[in-house]
Every structure is written in C-alpha cells, then in structure tokens.
Amino acid sequence: MKLKVRRLSVVGVAFLVVMVWLVVNPASYDEIFTRVENTGAEAGIDYGAEAVTEADENAPLAMEILEKLEVKGRAPKTGYSREQFYDGWPDVDGCSLRQRILKRELGESAVLDGCNVVAGEYDEPYTGEHMAFSNKSEISKIQIDHVVALSDAWQKGAQYKEYEVRNAIATDPLNLLAVDGEANKQKSDGDAATWLPKNKKFRCQYVARQVSVKYKYGLWVTQAEKDAISRILTNCPNEPAIGI
C-alpha cells in the first residue's frame, strides 16, 4: 500500500512539474503536442509547399485552372511508347531542343561550345541543391524531364489526340525542365498524387506547371491527383498558371 502511494506521489509531482513548465513556457505546448496530418492513404507524402512564383495580375490562378480540368479515371496504358509523342529532340533554330532547355535553365552561367552547353551552374528545382558543372560529362547528368510525364499524358487523354498534339506535349518548353537525373528517375511517370519534388519551395510552381500543361492540351486529372494538387495550392492560393 505504501509503495502504491509512493508511486502515485511521484506521478503527481511529475505532472505538476510539467504543467508549471507549460505555463511558464506556453510556446513549448506546440512543440510537444503536434497535430499529425496526411495519414491513411496519404501517409508518406508531405504536401507542404511555399509559393516561389510572383503573382501575375494578367495570369489566371492555378487553382482556377485546376477546377476547369475534367476529372476521370486513367485510361489503359496499352499502346504507349515515347515514339507515339516524338522521335528524339527536334532542332530549334539549328540547335537541339535539349540544349535550348539547358541554356534556359543555366542562364548566363552557361558555357557554350557551338550549340552545346558544356559548363554552368544553377539551382536544381527538384532537389533545391545548387549544382555546378565544369565539363560536358558532368552536364550529361542533367535530364530533361517532362513535367507531365508522357505515360501519364497518354493515360489521361493524349492517346485519343492526333500525333501533332502529342508531339507538342512532348516538345513544348512549358512541359520541359532540366533536372537532377536521380530525382527524375524517382519520379518516373508519377503524377502529383504519387510523387512531389523534395524541394518544397518548388512544389507550388511544379503543380501549377502540370495544371497549365494539362489545360493547354485538354488532358484530364484523376480525383486523387486533383486532391493532391489542391492540397499544394492551398498553401499558395495566389500561384499563377504558367504559359496560358
């Protein structure tokens, strides 16, 4: 009996100490008791994001464009191949589209050998890391990603469109980003419901670009995809659509 009373006394004293500490340090309450969100089917995906694109008064909001997209299930992947969209990078004014996108991303830091970018540096969007390249072999580690993956586009309307439209989806600079090769492999053909950039500061612009591409080319989204994009844009309601 004495042992039980002693245990209760210890527990009571400990509880009293914690309560006094919380009163003295009210801000610590939030650090101890944190509400956990995105559980269940969304577990493992962090939807946190920050806006990085300045609002354009003349551009529609990405959230508004999202609401205009048709919501449907995925169509079969049957018949998909990259050749259904394009056969290699086309030339743009005598230079490969790949090199054009690299030059766009590396900006003034790009060192050129004719059309080819052989060195430069930039802030990689998917990882958020600053990357510097001193030679052509290092530059080759950068991949040109289709923001709306071609397989995803195929299953969400592109297979029913003419080749010219599919080719535009594959070669439109709006749908192209120069990104870290490993991050691009991790993304694969995922949509916003299954993959988001590690770099949270880029997520608003990332989904805004996906929404813009899908709207421009009449592609649809799944309900899970729309929900995921909506969660991101809730953090940046003034994020504008891009290129439309």
pLDDT tens for residues 172-184? 999 999 999 999 9
| Residues 30 and 62 reside in one and the same domain | no
Residue 63 three-state SS:
helix
The total number of structural domains that make up the chain: 2
Q: Report yes or no on 241 lying in a domain.
A: no
Model pTM score = 0.78
| Closest by CA position to 242, among listed 83, 65, 35 | 65
Domain of residue 9, residue span: 1-34
Q: Is residue 39 assigned to a domain?
A: no
Q: Is residue 217 within 8 Å of residue 165, measured between CB atoms? A: yes
One domain, residues 84 and 110: yes
Let me know whether 16 and 55 are in one domain: no
Question: Are 59 and 25 contained in the same domain?
Answer: no
Classify residue 50 by burial, with Cβ atoms within 10 Å: 0-12, 13-18, 19+: middle
pLDDT attached to residue 56:
62
The answer to whether 158 and 165 are in contact (CB under 8 A) is yes
- Looking at the fold, whether 70 and 121 belong to one and the same domain comes out as yes
Predicted local distance difference test score (pLDDT) of residue 206? 98
Together in a domain, 58 and 121: yes
103 and 9 co-located in one domain: no
Residue 66 within a domain = yes
Statement to judge: residues 2 and 80 lie in one domain: no
Residue 58 confidence (pLDDT): 83
- Verify that 71 and 19 share a domain, yes or no: no
DSSP-based three-state secondary structure for 84: helix
Position 243 in a domain: no
In a domain, 244, yes or no: no
Asked whether residue 115 is assigned to any structural domain, the reply reads: yes
Question: Contact, 242 vs 90, CB < 8 A?
Answer: no
Dist CA 165 CA 163 (whole Å): 5
The dihedrals phi and psi of 119, each to the nearest 5 degrees, come to -165, 165
Residues 84 and 140 in one domain: yes
Q: Would you write out the chain's pLDDT as a tens digit for each of its 244 residues?
A: 444 444 434 334 343 433 333 333 433 323 222 222 332 233 333 333 333 445 566 889 999 999 999 999 999 999 999 999 999 999 999 999 999 999 999 999 999 999 999 999 999 999 999 999 999 999 999 999 999 999 999 999 999 999 999 999 999 999 999 999 999 999 999 999 999 999 999 999 999 999 999 999 999 999 999 999 999 999 999 999 999 8
Q: Is residue 79 part of a domain?
A: yes
Claim to verify: residue 129 and residue 197 sit in the same structural domain: yes
Contact, 212 vs 33, CB < 8 A? no
> Is residue 240 in a domain?
no
> Is residue 92 located within the same domain as residue 165?
yes
What tokens appear for 61 in the block? 């909001």
* Spatial distance between the Cα atoms of 117 and 96, rounded to a whole number of angstroms: 11
